Amino acid sequence: MNAFDLLGFGEKGWGPLLLKGTAMTLAVTISAFVFGAMFGAIVARGKLSNSFLARAAGDVYTTVLRGVPDLLVIYLFYFGGSQLLSTIYQLATGDKGFIGINAFLTGAMAVGIVSGAYQAEVFRGAYLAIPRGELEAARSVGMSGWTMFRRIVAPQVLRFAIPGLGNVWQLALKESALISVTGLTELLRQSQVASGSTRQPFVFYTAAAALYLLLTSLSTWLFNRAEATAMRGVRRA
Amino acid sequence: MDFAFYTEVIVRLLGAVPTTLELAFVSVAIGAVMAVGLAMMRQSRIAALDMFARGFIFVFRGTPLLVQIFLIFYGLSQFPAIRQSWAWQYLREPYFCAILALALNTAAYTAEILRGGLQSVPFGQVEAARACGMSGFTLYRRIILPIAIRQALPSYGTEVILMVRSTALASIITLMELTGVAQKINSETFRAIEVFICAGAIYLAINFLLSRVIMALEYWLTPHLRAPKIAAAPATNGVAA
């Protein structure tokens, strides 16, 4: 069988499964990115806060998660999560059960928490890029905290954050390949299975690389479009 | 708290630190050499070289490192021609494949960092150097490289730290570096949280030290940006300042 039959959509082709894996990669990356946006927003708020404790906590979060391998975080969530749940279960029921946890959820959480550290820095930078005068003006016309956030801060933070978020998204997309170690059948895991059963690893890993390349190129294009749209009202120097 | 357990885990994990550091430094060193080549190809006005470097950088920055590792370690073994060639004695070794993949990967990122540095060199400086009669290697050594390296150093520091993190992936192709040993202890003891937190703390310590070294290097390379030292008060011990 040649490579085209193997990768195709015919009877013995792995095409449909590889596409399913690609869809899973996208799904887990999107979930991770959304988790990351939530953590990132909270941590960025902490880092910008006047309270020393909140700033320190934010700094610890970003330093730790950018200094520790992502694979280790995934292991910690996957094995540690089931260790924790099993201990609770054993204490509660008294028998010696073992609880495995969902690979999608732990993978998305782990990659999301790492992504949150990077997104926090992006959001912080974007907030600092808002001209101070605009915040002052909003206060002086009597806007309350929430109104000011909704009308002045959020739209501009999102606008300035787009290029940085694009980079963080690419990181998350590539990190999602590590979730394959937990057995989640995303793109890389699917190619592993396929190369195992056909003994054609080169063909399938090349296919996986090409599909990842397609995803990253498509996202570059989308983020460029988004940036152009968001910046259309901004006068450039 | 089970101190005996923690001590044992940390001692075993520390035993794997040399492998992790070796992986990181060897691949960073090889990657840096390749990156200089790639950056020069990108700067050269020869279309074929430029296209090759662009393609290399596009592929290695656009795909996950783990896919690259698998492609080199498992993928190449598919071809009998490779299995029978002289290269096979290296390509069947996980250590060699991990270094190769890490080096190729970091070369692509570093090349772009270097190119950014080279582009930041003001044209007037190059022009002035040429007007003084410097050319080729002298021009690079005295003018272009010092400016470019200073400019690129902060991003390069981040890249080196990212590489230390990336060495963890070598454990997936059975290499017993820090993460590999941590995973082994976890599978023996089923105490994932303790073991992985210890391993994380060691990585953090390595990267913290590394970031200090890079900061010191930055300080040392930018004497002109420091605040000028105020003339010292007359020496009190009778020795001329």
Give tens-digit pLDDT for A201-233: 898 999 999 999 999 999 999 999 998 888 887
Is residue B234 situated within a structural domain? no
Q: What is the pLDDT of residue B241?
A: 43
The CB-side HSE value for B168 (13 A sphere, CA atoms) comes to 27
3-state secondary structure of A231: coil
CA distance B29 to B55: 22
Q: What is the pLDDT of residue B236?
A: 60
Report chain A residues whose CB lies below 8 A from the CB of B106.
Answer: none
Count of CB atoms situated within 10 Å of the CB of A102: 14
Is residue A57 situated within a structural domain? yes
Q: What is the pLDDT of residue A174?
A: 93
CA distance A178 to A70: 8
Give backbone dihedrals phi and psi of A234, rounded to 5 degrees, phi first.
-100, 130
Interface confidence, given as ipTM, is 0.88
Q: What percent of chain A has pLDDT over 90?
A: 56
Residue A90 pLDDT exceeds 90: no
Give Cα A104 to chain centroid, integer Å. Answer: 13
User: Please, which pLDDT band fits residue A168 given cuts at 50, 70 and 90?
Assistant: very high
Is residue B235 situated within a structural domain? no
CA distance, residue B188 to nearest chain A CA (Å): 13
Q: What is the pLDDT of residue B237?
A: 61
CA distance B231 to B69: 56
CA distance, residue A167 to nearest chain B CA (Å): 11
Nearest residue on chain B to A179, alpha-carbon basis:
B66
Domain, as residue range, for B138: 3-224
Residue B108: which of B157, B50, B145, B62 has the closest Cα?
B62
Is residue B201 situated within a structural domain? yes
Q: What percent of chain A has pLDDT over 70?
A: 97
User: Which alpha helices (H) appear in chain B, and where do they start and end?
Assistant: 3-14, 17-43, 47-62, 65-73, 80-83, 88-91, 94-119, 123-131, 136-139, 145-166, 178-189, 192-221
CATH at B209: 1.10.3720.10
Q: What is the pLDDT of residue A235?
A: 67
Q: What is the pLDDT of residue B233?
A: 62
Q: What is the mean pLDDT of residues A62-80?
A: 92
User: Please, which pLDDT band fits residue B77 given cuts at 50, 70 and 90?
Assistant: confident
Cβ <8 Å between A67 and B67: no
Q: What is the pLDDT of residue B196?
A: 93
User: Please, which pLDDT band fits residue B226 given cuts at 50, 70 and 90?
Assistant: confident
CA distance, residue B71 to nearest chain A CA (Å): 6
Is residue B241 situated within a structural domain? no
Count of CB atoms situated within 10 Å of the CB of B20: 27
Residue B28 pLDDT exceeds 50: yes
Q: What is the pLDDT of residue A87?
A: 85
Contact assessment for residue A57 and residue A46, using Cβ atoms and an 8 Å cutoff: yes
Report chain B residues whose CB lies below 8 A from the CB of A79.
Answer: 186, 192, 196
Domain, as residue range, for A170: 3-230
Is residue A48 situated within a structural domain? yes
Query: Domains in chain A: how many in total?
Result: 1
Cβ <8 Å between A83 and B193: yes
pTM: 0.88
Mean pLDDT value across chain A: 89
Of B58, B67, B179, the CB nearest to A205: B67
Q: What is the mean pLDDT of residues B46-60?
A: 93
CATH at A118: 1.10.3720.10
Best mutation target, B54, B78, B155, to test chain A (most A CBs within 10 A) = B78
Name the packing angle between helices A15-47 and A103-128 (round to 10°): 50
Report chain A residues whose CB lies below 8 A from the CB of B212.
Answer: none
Q: What is the mean pLDDT of residues A44-62?
A: 92
Q: What is the mean pLDDT of residues B156-168?
A: 92
CA distance, residue B207 to nearest chain A CA (Å): 6
Nearest residue on chain B to A74, alpha-carbon basis:
B196
Contact assessment for residue A206 and residue B75, using Cβ atoms and an 8 Å cutoff: yes
Residue A81 pLDDT exceeds 90: no
Query: Domains in chain B: how many in total?
Result: 1
Report chain A residues whose CB lies below 8 A from the CB of B77.
Answer: 201
CA distance, residue A143 to nearest chain B CA (Å): 40
Of B62, B172, B179, the CB nearest to A212: B62
Judge whether B14 is closer than 8 Å to chain A, CB to CB: no
Residue B86 pLDDT exceeds 90: no
Give Cα A226 to chain centroid, integer Å. Answer: 18
Judge whether B63 is closer than 8 Å to chain A, CB to CB: yes
Judge whether B184 is closer than 8 Å to chain A, CB to CB: no
Q: What is the mean pLDDT of residues B226-235?
A: 69
Contact assessment for residue A209 and residue B67, using Cβ atoms and an 8 Å cutoff: yes
Judge whether B90 is closer than 8 Å to chain A, CB to CB: no
Is residue B238 situated within a structural domain? no
Give Cα B208 to chain centroid, integer Å. Answer: 15
Q: What is the mean pLDDT of residues B203-223?
A: 90
Cβ <8 Å between B207 and A67: yes
Cβ <8 Å between B165 and A69: yes
3-state secondary structure of A182: helix
Is residue B75 situated within a structural domain? yes
Give backbone dihedrals phi and psi of B222, rounded to 5 degrees, phi first.
-120, 55
Report chain B residues whose CB lies below 8 A from the CB of A205.
Answer: 67, 70-71, 74-75
Judge whether B79 is closer than 8 Å to chain A, CB to CB: yes
Is residue A237 situated within a structural domain? no
Residue B15: which of B197, B241, B185, B191 has the closest Cα?
B185
Question: Which of A144-148, B55-59, B84-88, B150-154 shows the highest mean pLDDT?
Answer: B55-59
B108 Cβ contact list (under 8 Å, min separation 6): B35, B38, B56, B57, B59, B60, B61
Is residue B96 situated within a structural domain? yes
Q: What is the pLDDT of residue A1?
A: 60
Nearest residue on chain A to B180, alpha-carbon basis:
A72
Mean pLDDT value across chain B: 88
Nearest residue on chain B to A174, alpha-carbon basis:
B64
